[in-house]
């Protein structure tokens, strides 16, 4: 069995779910049907730091969100799949686009629709308040809940581990 450090060493792309990972899993609904979501600013910086380090960042989510699409564009995230019923085809398209293997990809999810991707990923990450089935398959769980800096926590884990590995090499 590969150690957490060995898994992190190979990561070239980190994939994130939105609701429950980048948000607190709550939907704020206005009377006109407008949907609002709260995000953590540190998570955005974590995503930027990953990309600056040469790690691709992608989003695969089952829900549509114009607000989140705008956020991803602002952050410079080029690989975004929103409103997808089946996440595996998006995963496979991303792997082909980037010419990567499952072992080189990390997935951060929080609920059962994320399990198929987490089970394929070389590194399965989750948030502190994830569904128990997700916690059971994750290689690592943040001490933080979704929407409260867990994405930054995961980014720091990967970046710090890979930086330490380069120093030791």
Q: List pLDDT tens digits, range 2-11.
A: 999 999 999 9
Q: What pLDDT sits at residue 140?
A: 98
Write phi, then psi, for 34 (nearest 5 degrees): -60, 135
pLDDT of 166 > 80? The answer is: yes
CATH label of the domain that carries residue 85: 3.40.50.1000
Three-point CA angle 23, 6, 100, nearest 5°: 70
Q: What pLDDT sits at residue 33?
A: 86
d(CA 11, CA 166): 13
Length of the chain: 169
SS3 at position 106: strand
Q: What pLDDT sits at residue 34?
A: 86
Residue 9, domain extent: 4-168
d(CA 141, CA 134): 10
Question: What does the pLDDT look like over 57-101, one tens digit per residue?
Answer: 999 999 999 999 999 999 999 999 999 999 999 999 999 999 999
Average pLDDT, the chain: 96
Write phi, then psi, for 126 (nearest 5 degrees): -150, 180
Where are the alpha helices (H) located in the chain, listed in sequence order? 4-9, 41-52, 66-75, 87-98, 115-120, 132-137, 150-168
Question: What does the pLDDT look like over 7-60, one tens digit per residue?
Answer: 999 999 999 999 999 999 998 888 998 888 999 999 999 999 999 999 999 999
SS3 at position 165: helix
pLDDT of 169 > 90? The answer is: no
Total domains in the fold of the chain: 1
Q: What pLDDT sits at residue 168?
A: 82
């Amino acid at each position: 069995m590969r150690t957490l450090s060995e898994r992190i060493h190979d990561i070239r792309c980190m994939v994130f779910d939105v609701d429950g990972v980048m948000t607190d899993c709550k939907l704020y609904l206005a009377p006109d049907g407008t949907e609002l979501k709260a995000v953590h600013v540190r998570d955005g910086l974590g995503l930027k730091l990953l990309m600056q380090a040469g790690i691709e960042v992608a989003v695969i989510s089952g829900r549509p969100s114009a607000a989140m699409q705008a956020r991803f564009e602002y952050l410079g995230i080029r690989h975004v799949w929103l409103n997808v019923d089946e996440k595996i085809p998006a995963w496979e398209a991303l792997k082909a686009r980037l010419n990567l293997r499952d072992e080189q990809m990390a997935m951060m999810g929080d609920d059962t629709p994320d399990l198929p991707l987490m089970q394929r990923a070389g590194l399965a990450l989750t948030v502190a308040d994830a569904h128990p089935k997700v916690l059971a398959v994750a290689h690592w769980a943040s001490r933080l809940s979704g929407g409260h800096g867990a994405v930054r926590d995961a980014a720091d884990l990967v970046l710090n581990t890979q930086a330490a590995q380069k120093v030791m090499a």
